[in-house]
Amino acid sequence: MTRPVLVLLVALVLAVPLSLLAGRVWIDPFHPVVANAAVILAELRLPRAVLALAVGGGLGAAGAAMQGYLRNPLADPGLFGIAPTAALGATLSFLVGGAAGWLLPVFALTGAGLGMALLALISAGAGAGGGDPGRGIALFTLSGMMLASLSSALMALALSLAPTPFALTEIVTWQMGAIADRSWRDVWICAPPTVIGVILLASSGRDLDALTLGETAARSLGVDPRHLQWRMIASVGLTVGAGVAVAGVIGFVGLMVPHLVRPFTDRRPSSLIWPSALGGALLLLVADCLCRVLPLAGGELRLGVALALLGTPFFLLLLLRMRGGAA
Amino acid sequence: MTAGIALAAHGISLGGRLDNVGVALRPGEVTAICGPNGAGKSTLLACLAGLLAPDHGTVTLGDSDLAAMPPVTRARTIGFLPPTPEVAWDMTVETLVSLGRIPWPGAPAVEAQTAIADAITAMDLAALRHRPVSRLSGGERARALMARVLATRPGWLLADEPLANLDLAHAAALIARLRDQARGGAGVVLVLHDLASAMNHADRVLVLGGGRLLHDGPPDRALDADVIHRVWGVAGRWLGEPGARALSLEALGR
């Protein structure tokens, strides 16, 4: 086990119990005088913490793998177009029958699946032997960006078609992204696909390492670009789709975490996937706790909003540093 | 090292870029592929490396068809250095060289360590082992990337323009190290733009023109003044001693 993984594991072991105590009702572990403390812990705080770990871990690992795949330190799950198509699917579920029941997660996962399929269809052949090497990855990025903007246009359309002001409010609130008031059911929706996806991402590590040297050199090292592309589409779809299904759109985790972790690794993409998963889990857990305890009139700060507020300056800082030539 | 396996192209053609090229390459030799721009040099090298599949004809490694070989098996035997010195992440020289072990996922760690250490020594990078690639000069980076190819311990080293962007001293150093590899039994195939490098350092030169193999032989025959005149369209003559020749071009339009 590498040092970053160890440090992050220790941090998580410390952070998870603390996160369970924090919230509108503070629980003192030594004097549990709060009524229903056990219920609050088991039915509210624990699923919320597990959800933060799963969503954050999935987004962190997906971001790390995508940066490696696209050889672009600015890549983020949103760029693949999978988070936006998942969100589009979820938005449509509000129009069809409201947010109740299983409809939303089913629609979000379907959206992610369709996004994956479209992406594969558009970029089919791009990584195949006959094509110009190097064009494959550019085409893949561009089709992802096109999917993302198409999804946001269709989402805006869906909003304008919202049947009632109430439905509109509901959609907008969900789109902001949060993991408040979630139950164990949401954990069961989110965790299994995320775990499968992260394991699949980690198993692509060696291929991503080879891509460091460019697509041609990677092929000469035995990487099958078609195979890798399918694995990336499936694993990013699983992790990001599952996250969006239960938590809405939470951006910038996949961008920030790999950046913060990278200096502590040997900078091979494969060395980054597990630490980024743990780092993403930690970031979302801590951010969610802060959202919970920050005093805000009329409720709590939305997690998606908080991370966007944190992520945008981070992104700008990265851009400025890259312009200075020290990425 | 899987030395001694023959690599051969049998009448390969590819979409107007290569036209019925057949050549049997020998391990233990430095073979240079020369020709004017657009002659099909890089295309031929990529076909020989198994990275491009020809429309007609086959490339064989020993008795096997390269196109039917699993990519990992091919990658263990044929090391390929692309023309663009790309390194996406700012890793140390040692980590970069270790990427050459990717085709050997199950190999014992000791074997990997030895291969990496040998490659670093062969390319004279011991002092730079822990330096990040962003702080290497162009020549050092070229050597590090070549060491990455060597770390695989391939029987064949195929390099597309390995001397591009290198100054005289670095180019000479790199080619000397490639000659050492050939002397050790590896097959070395280089696409070379600089005819003097091919003349002085190759054992065998393939001259391509318009996708066809025009000449094939020892450098003083394959690259004599007549050939240069016919293929490159310039009149010139070789000066100096064998092994240290320079090409003197006559002024154009005379």
Chain A hits for B81, CB-CB cut-off 8 Å, are: 217
| Partner-chain contact A129 B53, CB within 8 Å | yes
Region B175-200: what's the mean pLDDT?
A: 93
Q: Which among A210, A212, A262 has CB closest to B87?
A: A212
Q: Measured between CB atoms, does B82 come within 8 Å of chain A?
A: yes
Chain B hits for A214, CB-CB cut-off 8 Å, are: 82, 84, 86, 88
> Can you tell me the distance from the alpha carbon of B242 to that of B245, in angstroms, rounded to the nearest whole number?
6
Task: Judge contact between A85 and A115, C-beta under 8 A.
Answer: yes
| Partner-chain contact B75 A221, CB within 8 Å | yes
Q: Measured between CB atoms, does A226 come within 8 Å of chain B?
A: no
Chain A hits for B105, CB-CB cut-off 8 Å, are: 206
Domains of chain A, first to last? 68-249 (1.10.3470.10)
- Give yes or no for residue B74 having a pLDDT over 50: yes
Q: What is the DSSP string of A82-125?
A: HHHHHHHHHHHHHHHH-S-TTHHHHHHHHHHHHHHHHHHHHTTT
Confidence tier at A129 by pLDDT (50, 70, 90): very low
Region A130-138: what's the mean pLDDT?
A: 53
Confidence tier at A32 by pLDDT (50, 70, 90): low
Confidence tier at B200 by pLDDT (50, 70, 90): very high
In B, minimum Cα distance to A216 occurs at: B82
Chain B hits for A129, CB-CB cut-off 8 Å, are: 51-53
Domains of chain B, first to last? 7-224 (3.40.50.300)
| Partner-chain contact B91 A267, CB within 8 Å | yes
| pTM attached to this predicted model | 0.89
Confidence tier at B251 by pLDDT (50, 70, 90): low
Give the gap in angstroms from C-alpha A122 to the nearest C-alpha of chain B: 22
Give the gap in angstroms from C-alpha A153 to the nearest C-alpha of chain B: 33
Confidence tier at A133 by pLDDT (50, 70, 90): very low
Tell me what pLDDT residue A127 has.
44
pLDDT in tens, B34-48: 999 999 999 999 999
Residue type at position A243: G
Question: In this prediction, does ipTM exceed 0.90?
Answer: yes
Q: What is the DSSP string of B163-225?
A: TTT--HHHHHHHHHHHHHHHHTT-EEEEE-S-HHHHHHH-SEEEEEETTEEEEEE-HHHHT-H
Tell me what pLDDT residue A130 has.
39
- Give yes or no for residue A314 having a pLDDT over 60: yes
In B, minimum Cα distance to A128 occurs at: B52
Tell me what pLDDT residue B50 has.
95
pLDDT in tens, A205-264: 999 999 999 889 999 999 998 899 889 888 888 898 899 988 888 888 998 999 999 999
Give kind and range of the element (H or E) at residue B130. none
Test mutation, A221, A226, A271, chain B, max B CBs within 10 A? A221
Of the candidates A289, A287, A302, A278, the one whose C-alpha atom is nearest the C-alpha of residue A18 is A289
Tell me what pLDDT residue A178 has.
81
Give chain A's length.
Answer: 327
